[in-house]
C-alpha cells in the first residue's frame, strides 16, 4: 500500500466536463475524444486555438478584429478572424461560451462568440460529380457493414448522398453509431472513406477529390444531358455530319429531331432511338442506368437505335454517336443496306467531340457539413436562446464555421450547412457519445449582443485571447481542387 503521506505515489484523476461522457483522466493521459488531456492535474485542450489572417480566395472578407481604416491592402492580408477551432466547449451546461471576444471594425464595436459545439443532430450531404450509376435512389449506404445514410435524389450531372443524422448516430446499435460518427469525421476532415451502396457500387469518396467508383477513378462531369449537348454543339456538327445521337441516362438527344437541328434546317435522318419521346429530339428511358455510355448500361452504342426508316434514311448517311462527357464516341456511315458501318472520323468532327470533353468540369466530391445549433450551445451566447435564433434570422448575427461562411436554412432553429473545403484542415473532432464536434462562431455588433441578453460580463479583448501558441492560418480556405487532369483527358473510342 502506498504511503498516504507520499503525494508522489498518488495518481490523481481529473474529471473532464467538455462532453456528456465526463471522462476521468489520469495524469499524462488523454480523454476518449483525443481532444483533452490531464497535464499535471490541469485539464488542457490539445488542439491550438486558431485564427485566420486573410480573406478567402473567393474574395469574401472575414470580419476584422483590428482597428484602423483601409490602407490600400486589396488582399486584406492584415485581417484577423478568431475561429472556434481549439476553443473548447462548455456543453452540456449553462456556462458562457469559452471565448466571447470584443473588437472594433471600421469604428463599430463588435463581439464574436466562439465555441466548439457537440452535434448529435448532424450529418453530411455529399455531391458526387459523375454520370456513372451508383445505385438506386433511397438505397442504404454502408461503411464497414453499418448503414450510415442513403442515396438521395440525383442532381444535374451529380449523384447525391445523405449521410449521418441522429437516427444513425444514436437511433441504431452502438456499432452503427460509432461507424457513422467515424465516417462523418473523416469526410468532414477531408479524409477518404469507403462505402457500399446496396444493390449498387463500391465508392471511395473524399472532399475535393475525384470519386472512385467500382475501382475506377472518375475524370469528368458531363457537359449536360443529351439534349443540352445538342443545343451547345449543333452548329459545329451541322456541316460535318448528318445525324448525332448523344447517349444519356436521362435525356438522350437526336440532332435532326431536336429544335436546334430544325433551326439549322437539317433534314430528317430516319434514325429512331429507344425510349419514350418527350419533346422532339429528347428521349427518356433510352437504356437502364449503368457504367457505360452516358451513365447507361450501353456498351455498343448501336443498341440505342430502335430502327432505321428506309423511307427517310439514305446510303452514305453520316452518323456520330457520343456520350455526354465525350469520353466515348463512334462514327458510322450507312451502307447500301442502310446498316451502320464504323468508319474513320473526319478531323473537324473529331475536334467537336474533343470539345465536349474540354467543356466538362473535373469530377469531384463535395462534402457539406450540416448541423443544428440548438440546446445549450445557444445558452453559451445568451440567457435567452430564442433571441440568438431571431438575431440570426434577421441577419443581425453572422454564423460561421471555422471562419467559413455558413448557409442558414429558413424555418425554425439555426440549421446550417458549410462546405468543408472552405474550412481549415482538421477542423472537426468527436466525442464518443457519439457526436461530431464542430467550430461555430457568432459575430454581431456589441449593442446587438447586449440587446439579446448576451453574457457581457465574460467579454474579453482579442489581444488577451490570442497568444504566442495560437495557430495562425494565412487564408480562410484550403480549396485545392486540381484542374490539371482535365487537360489530360481525351475522347477514347
Mean pLDDT of the chain: 86
- Cα dist from 268 to 252, 309, 310, whole Å: 17, 10, 12
**In which band, very low, low, confident or very high, does the pLDDT at 470 lie, cut at 50, 70 and 90?**
confident
Which region, left, alpha or beta, applies to residue 388 given φ > 0 means left and ψ of -120 to 50 means alpha?
alpha
CA angle (430 as vertex; 33, 151 as ends), nearest 5: 145
Of 435, 402, 421, 430, residue with least CA distance to 206: 421
Q: Is 276 within the bounds of a domain?
A: yes
| Percent of the chain residues topping a pLDDT of 70 | 86
| Cα gap 473→108, rounded to integer Å | 25
Is 298 inside any structural domain? yes
Structure-block grid coordinates of residue 388: 440568438
- What band does 79 get if pLDDT is binned at 50, 70 and 90? low
By C-alpha distance, which of 301, 126, 313 is closest to 205?
126
CA distance 353 to 374: 52
Of residues 192 and 104, more confidence is placed in: 192
CB atoms within 10 A of CB 78: 13
141 within some domain: no
For the stretch 313-333, pLDDT in tens is 999 999 999 999 999 999 999
Beta bridge partners of 213: 203, 216
Q: What is the pLDDT of residue 349?
A: 93
- Cα–Cα distance between 210 and 482 in angstroms, integer? 10
Residue 70: is its pLDDT beyond 80?
no
- How far CA 422 is from CA of 211, 376, 404, 451, 489, in Å, comes to 19, 26, 6, 31, 27
Last residue of a domain, one of 300, 335, 360: 360
Lowest mean pLDDT, pick from 12-21, 56-65, 78-87, 399-408:
56-65
Q: Rounded to the nearest 5°, which phi and psi values hold at 195?
A: -145, 150
Look at residue 310 and tell me if it is in a domain: yes
Q: Are 331 and 320 in contact (CB under 8 A)?
A: yes
Domain count, the chain: 2
What is the four-CA torsion angle of 400, 391, 447, 78, rounded to 10 degrees? 20
Q: Is position 239 within any domain?
A: yes
What value does the mean pLDDT take over residues 197-218? 96
Structural domain containing residue 17: 10-46
Residues 212 and 218: their CA atoms lie apart, in Å, by: 6
Q: What does the alpha-carbon distance between residue 240 and residue 334 come to, in Å, rounded to a whole number?
A: 15
The residue from 306, 332, 360 where one domain ends is 360
User: What is the grid cell recorded at 185?
Assistant: 469525421
Tell me which of 14-28, 300-314, 359-373, 470-484 is least confident: 470-484
Is 215 contained in some domain? no
For 142-152, what is the mean pLDDT?
Answer: 97
Angle ∠(359,493,205) on CA atoms, nearest 5: 60
C-alpha cell at 324: 455526354
Cα-Cα-Cα-Cα dihedral sign, residues 425, 431, 433, 437 = negative
**Cα–Cα dist 376/408, whole Å:** 19
Residue 140: CA count within 13 A, CB half-sphere: 11
Alpha-carbon distances, residue 440 vs 214, 241, 319, 325, 430 (angstroms): 37, 57, 57, 39, 14
Q: What is the pTM of this model?
A: 0.84
Domain end call among 360, 376, 402 = 360
Q: Which band of pLDDT confidence, cut at 50, 70 and 90, is reported for residue 139?
A: very high
| Inter-residue contact 9 to 2 (CB < 8 Å) | yes
pLDDT at 2: 45
pLDDT value for 94 = 73
Per-residue pLDDT tens over the stretch 220-262:
999 999 999 999 999 999 989 999 999 999 999 999 999 999 9
Amino acid at each position: 500500500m502506498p504511503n498516504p503521506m507520499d503525494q508522489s505515489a498518488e495518481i490523481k484523476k481529473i474529471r473532464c466536463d467538455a462532453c456528456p461522457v465526463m471522462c476521468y483522466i489520469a495524469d499524462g493521459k488523454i480523454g476518449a475524444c483525443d481532444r483533452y488531456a490531464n497535464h499535471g492535474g490541469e485539464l488542457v485542450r490539445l488542439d491550438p486555438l486558431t485564427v485566420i489572417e486573410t480573406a478567402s480566395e473567393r474574395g469574401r472578407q472575414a470580419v476584422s478584429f483590428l482597428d484602423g481604416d483601409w490602407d490600400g491592402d486589396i488582399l486584406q492580408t492584415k485581417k484577423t478572424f478568431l475561429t472556434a477551432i481549439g476553443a473548447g466547449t462548455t456543453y452540456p451546461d449553462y456556462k458562457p461560451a469559452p471565448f466571447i471576444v470584443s473588437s472594433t471594425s471600421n469604428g463599430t464595436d463588435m463581439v464574436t462568440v466562439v465555441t466548439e459545439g457537440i452535434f448529435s443532430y448532424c450529418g453530411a450531404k455529399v455531391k458526387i460529380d459523375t454520370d456513372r450509376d451508383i445505385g438506386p435512389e433511397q438505397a442504404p449506404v454502408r461503411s464497414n457493414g453499418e448503414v450510415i445514410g442513403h442515396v438521395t435524389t440525383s442532381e444535374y450531372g451529380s449523384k447525391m448522398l445523405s449521410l449521418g443524422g441522429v437516427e444513425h448516430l444514436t437511433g441504431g446499435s452502438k456499432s452503427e453509431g460509432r461507424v457513422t460518427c467515424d465516417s462523418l469525421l473523416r469526410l468532414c476532415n477531408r479524409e477518404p472513406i469507403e462505402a457500399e451502396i446496396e444493390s449498387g457500387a463500391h465508392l471511395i469518396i473524399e472532399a475535393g477529390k475525384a470519386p472512385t467508383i467500382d475501382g475506377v477513378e472518375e475524370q469528368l462531369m458531363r457537359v449536360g444531358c443529351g439534349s443540352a449537348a445538342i443545343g451547345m454543339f449543333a452548329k459545329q456538327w451541322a456541316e460535318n455530319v448528318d445525324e448525332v445521337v448523344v447517349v444519356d441516362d436521362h435525356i438522350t438527344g437526336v440532332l435532326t429531331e431536336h429544335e436546334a437541328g430544325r433551326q439549322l434546317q437539317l433534314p430528317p435522318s430516319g434514325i429512331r432511338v429507344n425510349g419514350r419521346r418527350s419533346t422532339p429530339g429528347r428521349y427518356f428511358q433510352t437504356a437502364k442506368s449503368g457504367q457505360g455510355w452516358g451513365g447507361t448500361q450501353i456498351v455498343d452504342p448501336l443498341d440505342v437505335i430502335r430502327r432505321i426508316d428506309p423511307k427517310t434514311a439514305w446510303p452514305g448517311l453520316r452518323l456520330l454517336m457520343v456520350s455526354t462527357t465525350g469520353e466515348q464516341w463512334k462514327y458510322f456511315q450507312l451502307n447500301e443496306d442502310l446498316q451502320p458501318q464504323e468508319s474513320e472520323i473526319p478531323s473537324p468532327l473529331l475536334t467537336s467531340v474533343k470539345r465536349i470533353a474540354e467543356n466538362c468540369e473535373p469530377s469531384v466530391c463535395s462534402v457539406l457539413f450540416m448541423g443544428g445549433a440548438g440546446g445549450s450551445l445557444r445558452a453559451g451566447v445568451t440567457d435567452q436562446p430564442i433571441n440568438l435564433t431571431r438575431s440570426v434570422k434577421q441577419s443581425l448575427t453572422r454564423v460561421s464555421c471555422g471562419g467559413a461562411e455558413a448557409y442558414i436554412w429558413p424555418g425554425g432553429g439555426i440549421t446550417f450547412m458549410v462546405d468543408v473545403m472552405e474550412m481549415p484542415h482538421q477542423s472537426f473532432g468527436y466525442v464518443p457519445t457519439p457526436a461530431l464536434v464542430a467550430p461555430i462562431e457568432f459575430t454581431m455588433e456589441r449593442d446587438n449582443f447586449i440587446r439579446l441578453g448576451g453574457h457581457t460580463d465574460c467579454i474579453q479583448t482579442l489581444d488577451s485571447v490570442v497568444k504566442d501558441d495560437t495557430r495562425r492560418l494565412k487564408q480562410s480556405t484550403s480549396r485545392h481542387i486540381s484542374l490539371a487532369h482535365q487537360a489530360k483527358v481525351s475522347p477514347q473510342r
